[in-house]
A and B are shown apart, each in its own frame.
Chain A
Amino acid sequence: MDKIITIVRKEWAEVFKNKMVLFSVIFMPLLFAALPLIILFSTGGGGDMAGDIPQQIAVMCDPGMSSSECFQVYIVSQFLVLFMLVPLIIPVNIASYSIVGEKTTRSLEPLLATPITTAELLIAKNLAAVIPAVAATLVGFLIFAIGAGFLSGSSLVTAALLDPMWLLAVLLVGPLLAVLSVNFAIMVSSRVNDPRVAEQLSVVVIVPILGLFFGQVSGLLIFNNTLVLIMALVLVVLDAIMIQVAIRLFQRETILTRWK
Chain B
Amino acid sequence: MITTENLTKKFGDITAVDHLNLEVREGEVFGFLGPNGAGKTTTVRMLSCLIGPTSGRALVNGFTVGKEDKQIRRSVGILTETPGMYDNLSAEHNLNIYAHLYEVEYPKVQVEKYLRMLGLWDRRQDEAGTFSKGMKQKLAICRALLHEPRLLFLDEPTAALDPESARLVRDFIAELRQQGCTIFLCTHNLDEADRLCDRIGVFKSRLLVVDSPTNLRRQLFGRKVVFHLATGNDGLVQQVQALPFVQEVKLVENKLVITLDDPEEHNPDILNLLVGAGARVQFVGELRTSLEDVYLHLVKQ
Co-complex (A, B): yes
Interface residues of A (CB under 8 A from B): 2-3, 6-7, 10, 13-14, 17, 105-117, 252-253, 256-257
A110-B84 in contact given A13-B93, A256-B50, A257-B11 (Cβ < 8 Å): yes
B78 (CB) vs chain A CBs: closest residue: A113
In the assembly, what is the distance between CA of A41 and CA of B217, in Å? 89
- 0/1 string, B194-214, CB within 8 A of A gives 1: 000000000000000000000
Known contacts A6-B97, A257-B51: A106-B84 contact under CB 8 Å: yes
Cα(A253)–Cα(B11), bound, Å = 11
Of B100-108, B116-124, B232-240, the segment with at least 4 beta carbons within 8 Å of chain A is B100-108
**Residue on B with the closest CB to A254?**
B51
Complex interface: chain A residues within 8 A of B100 (CB): 2-3, 6
Q: Which residues of A contact B78 (CB under 8 A)?
A: 110, 113
Q: Does B19 contact A (CB under 8 A)?
A: no
* B85 part of interface (Cβ distance < 8 Å): yes
Q: Which residues of A contact B151 (CB under 8 A)?
A: none
- Listed in ascending order, the chain B residues whose CB lies under 8 Å from chain A are 11, 45, 48-52, 70, 73-74, 78, 80, 82-89, 93, 97-98, 100-103, 140, 143
A110 and B86 contacting across the interface, CB-CB below 8 Å = no
Chain A residues within an 8 Å CB radius of B50: 109, 112-113, 252-253, 256
Please, which residue of chain B has its CB at the minimum distance from the CB of A3?
B101
Beta-carbon contact of A115 and B73 below 8 Å:
yes
- Give A259 Cβ to nearest chain B Cβ, in Å: 12
Q: For the A-B complex with A6-B100, A113-B50 known, give 20 more contacts whose Cβ atoms are closer than 8 Å.
A: A6-B97, A6-B101, A7-B97, A10-B86, A14-B86, A14-B88, A105-B84, A106-B83, A108-B84, A110-B84, A110-B140, A114-B73, A114-B101, A114-B102, A115-B102, A117-B70, A253-B51, A256-B51, A257-B11, A257-B51
Contact B80 A110 (CB under 8 A): yes
A10 to B95, CA, bound (A): 11
Given contacts A2-B100, A6-B101, contact A109 B74 (CB under 8 A): no
**A17 & B101 in contact (Cβ 8 Å cutoff):** no
User: Within the complex, what minimum Cβ distance (angstroms) separates A250 from chain B?
Assistant: 14
A111-B83 Cα distance, complex, nearest whole Å: 11
Can you name 19 A-B pairs with beta carbons within 8 Å? Answer: A2-B103, A6-B101, A10-B89, A14-B86, A14-B89, A106-B83, A107-B84, A110-B80, A110-B143, A113-B48, A113-B73, A113-B78, A113-B80, A114-B102, A115-B102, A252-B50, A253-B52, A256-B51, A257-B51
Give the CA-CA distance A251 to B168 in the complex, in Å.
Answer: 37
Query: Contact between A110 and B98 (Cβ–Cβ < 8 Å)?
Result: yes
Interchain residue pairs A-B with the least CB separation, the first 10: A106-B84, A114-B101, A6-B100, A107-B84, A106-B82, A253-B51, A115-B73, A113-B78, A109-B80, A115-B74
Complex CA distance for A114 and B101, rounded to whole angstroms: 6
Q: Are A111 and B51 in contact (CB under 8 A)?
A: no
Enumerate chain B residues within 8 angstroms of A3, measured Cβ to Cβ: 100-101
